[in-house]
Amino acid sequence: MGEAPQEGGAFEGRAHLVIPLAYERILRGREGEVLFLLGNEAFARGALEGGVSVAATYPGTPSSEIGEVLFELAEAAGMYFEYSTNEKVAVEVAYAAATSGLRSLAFMKHVGLNVAMDSFISAVLMGVEGGMAVISADDPSAHSSQNEQDNRTYSLLTGVPMLEPSDPQEAKDMLVDALRMSEEHGVPFLIRSVTRVSHMRAPVRLGPLAEIRPPGSGEFRGGPGSHVPVPPRNLKWHEELLAKLSSLVPVSERSGWNRVEGSGDLGIVTSGAAYNYVHDVVSEQGIEAEILKLGMTNPLPRSLIASFLDRHDVVYVFEEVDPFLERGIREIAQMEGIDVEIRGKLSGHVPWA
């Protein structure tokens, strides 16, 4: 994707559009400029930097502000945006664009992914030509939802690669990265946000705007039945999906989203918003600990985790909501024969809610 002109150029001919002042800098902010953004506003900027041509959503807290921003900016940016009939339709609209070689985005609150799951599973299985990302805004503690389900589990059910941002800067940058990796590996990406990331406000350093391809410029090259998941084609796709996930393991191992911080005998593994709580407590209490922060959580960086576990006698796992990471870490420890005490929700050392 080429870099778009920051003024004029990509927006030429659309200067007449009235854009709320609060969103003006999200649309036209220059590379290197720092804005004070909500996590959801940062996601919207990430869609612009990632070259999203088509975006669709069914609104619901804590994801709603992404749509509010894109609703105001899409026309000026040359992007197609819609409020879909429901989340299933939103995923289908985004997938149609991605199968035509365009970059696309669907986003919704966590329970909305339940509605979209029939289409989402097939989209992951069949793969994409253009980059496609789906943002699930989870709601730990159910601040505005009927439950606090942890949609990371869907990454194992569907086989979709997954990223977990911890702050607005990562929200923007991870979306850009997810779109790139999705296009390179031919599979949609899931981004799991949570309320305390989507509604956090923090400084965000902007990257370059991408040249957004016109929504009508995509080309569907499949023939009749090319995207109909029936035997024996679906079995072949399943093999291909497993191969794609295997090819992403070394990507996860090298990813800057997975990193080790600090030093100490105590080991801590964490991800998402929980990382912020861990960072605050360790800093404020002067605790000497080595922290493994995981941002790409499917597939997990198995070698990085094994090496980390091997350096410690005791490792705590802090995450929201389910023991998703803890289960994966315990599996790695068992398979690698690592003698380490893992303390988390499953062991009773960390509360479930």
The structural domains of the chain, ordered by start, are: 9-254 (3.40.50.970), 259-343 (3.40.50.920)
DSSP at 3? B
**What would the DSSP string read from start to end of 125-140?**
HH--SS-EEEEEEE-T
Question: Beta 80-83 vs 104-109: how paired, if at all?
Answer: unpaired
Number of alpha helices (DSSP H) and beta strands (DSSP E) in the chain: 12, 14
Nearest to 207 by CA among 44, 49, 2: 49
Bridge partners (DSSP) of residue 104 are 54, 132
Nearest to 223 by CA among 233, 236, 213: 233
**With contact defined as beta carbons under 8 Å apart, do 169 and 203 qualify?**
yes
Task: Give the Cα separation of 191 and 178 in Å (integer).
Answer: 8
Q: Residue 14: its pLDDT value, please?
A: 52
Q: Residue 22: its pLDDT value, please?
A: 80
**With contact defined as beta carbons under 8 Å apart, do 119 and 92 qualify?**
yes
Task: Give the Cα separation of 262 and 115 in Å (integer).
Answer: 41
Residue burial 319-351, b: 16+ Cβ < 10 Å; e: rest: bbbbbbbbbbbbebbeeeebebebbbbeeeebe
Q: Is 222 helix (H, G, I), strand (E, B) or coil?
A: coil
Chain-centroid distance, C-alpha 282: 26
For residue 321, cis peptide bond before it (omega within 30 degrees of 0): yes
Rounded to 10 degrees, the C-alpha dihedral 326/340/262/264 comes to: 140
Which mean pLDDT values do the consecutive 10-residue runs of the chain (353 residues) have? 41 60 91 97 98 98 97 95 98 97 98 97 96 97 93 97 99 99 98 98 98 92 80 92 97 98 96 97 96 98 98 98 98 97 97 85
Q: What Cα–Cα distance (Å) separates residue 139 from each residue in 109, 217, 231? A: 8, 36, 37
Q: Residue 352: its pLDDT value, please?
A: 87
Provide φ and ψ at 106, rounded to 5°. Answer: -120, 140
Chain-centroid distance, C-alpha 168: 12
Chain-centroid distance, C-alpha 280: 24
Q: Residue 12: its pLDDT value, please?
A: 47
Sheet (strand 341-343) strand order: 259-262, 289-294, 266-271, 314-318, 341-343
Provide φ and ψ at 180, rounded to 5°. Answer: -65, -50
Q: Residue 16: its pLDDT value, please?
A: 52
Task: Give the Cα separation of 208 and 169 in Å (integer).
Answer: 14
Token look-up 């980059």 returns 131
Task: Give the Cα separation of 125 and 238 in Å (integer).
Answer: 6
